[in-house]
Structure 1
């Protein structure tokens, strides 16, 4: 199965092949009214089909995938321009048709050419066309002496304009697809960024983000002389809730608890799910007298909450250990002291707060 990029390259090359055929219709019309020989459009059609078949086969096989120009745009444009130059030499009396046609492959180049490539193409084409026109001299003509030739000229110009519009439509389609892909990529990137920093179940900060915030706060405290506290909150007997009511109810409890914890603290404090039924707080600029009051307010909010709306007879309480950061202490050390205080709260009967000595 072809990958999307290869399909786009094949589509563009196929459109170029169709464009060969459309462009040659005008030459067949001139041949029909006797302006040029039928050999001219037939030879140009044959050359176009041969080149296009080679390009399609090379792209479809995947052999161009690792090339600098996987679409072979430069080679395709060169081939198309070369065919038009040869056409002028074969039928100088309709030179203007080949000059008009030369802009069509250049329009395809918009899909892939760089500024440097366009500059090179301009120089080469200018030299080549000037050389051909100088070589032909007086043989160059515009065959519009009869009504039939005038009609063919008008029809040919209409076809040229239509081919330009078709190419621009293709460019617009590719740009639209690119816009959609970029939007999807941006959405996916935003989603990945959220998953990297937020707990998927509760929507609050996850452990990784909390550790980053804690490290930043420690650095700020060392720089400014401010202080902060860390609290670890654990749901009492949470295993019993899962065993008795199921993990689905347990997830609902954790989500409701996360919202409660956030609402019970100040806007400057940070709440995160540390893992399982454990949550952590980063409490900034708390003094020793205000800290017990704030943590007790949180504990009471959890205890008073109407948990029976989730399941009849359900009651949820939490235990917490809190530690104030000491000067020179690492983030791991302050967390360990908070964890020790949490175990003291559990040993004291749960549903209580313990603050580590400072």
Structure 2
């Protein structure tokens, strides 16, 4: 638990800190080969020098950790501070190599190359080649410092040239491989994003009525179950209304199904426009609360709404629809609807709630249509 708090709850910061701690672990692993080199006399420093070197590395890493953890690093172009961490690793590795004797330097040279791995799966080809150049230049600088004033036609210097050539070859090759991997990672990320967008689109289409673009019955039933669970948990009211277009069959028979389809689409657009002006529906997205229930029937879900509030909302919507003229290929047509409204009662299934709203709708139609009725027990 304490470790989790140390790493921050922010996902991005946590990821950066995790990677940074991996670098700290690599420094800690250096203790074993460093201790062996001291013990067997391959190093020109003792255990105190080894501890001082590791302590210096840890001090730098603590500074990097705090800069990332506190958010200070966000003011820089690279908030991960990757390049500074690699450069510090290069510098510490060069110091270690300077104090190694004989063949121990060839072995420890692998630690110098290991510093390169920090950016292998993050940086691009050009950036990695630049780092390879820095690594080679650093080793050239170390050679210049160590052989200043000394003869160069010696086996010792030739061995250093061999190490330099191997270092240049390995880092250059790693740069090309790392750049290739970075390209693959980018492509995979793009394909993953495209796949996620496609899945979201498929999900969206599966929840939409093909004709009107409104939410379909499948989505509405899921939304009702969620609203019921919320109401049970927090003891908050909500209402549902089943809306049925009056004499819709007459429109289809007189003007054709194409005009009927235009009326259905027009009603959905009209409800969306009206809902923006209704205070009771301003608390939530109308697109998630209204949809086609089946045929010419529509369902409206009103969260946080009592029966009186729902009745006032439907009355305003009913009046606005009656005054609206819907443009179709057969000309402008008027339209009315009947609606049944029911308020959720604690413990009742969604099917019972809908049955009560449907019974209220049937009563509205039997009383002459073009009206709103509320459900009883």
TM-score (norm 2): 0.47
Give TM-score scaled by structure 1 length.
0.50
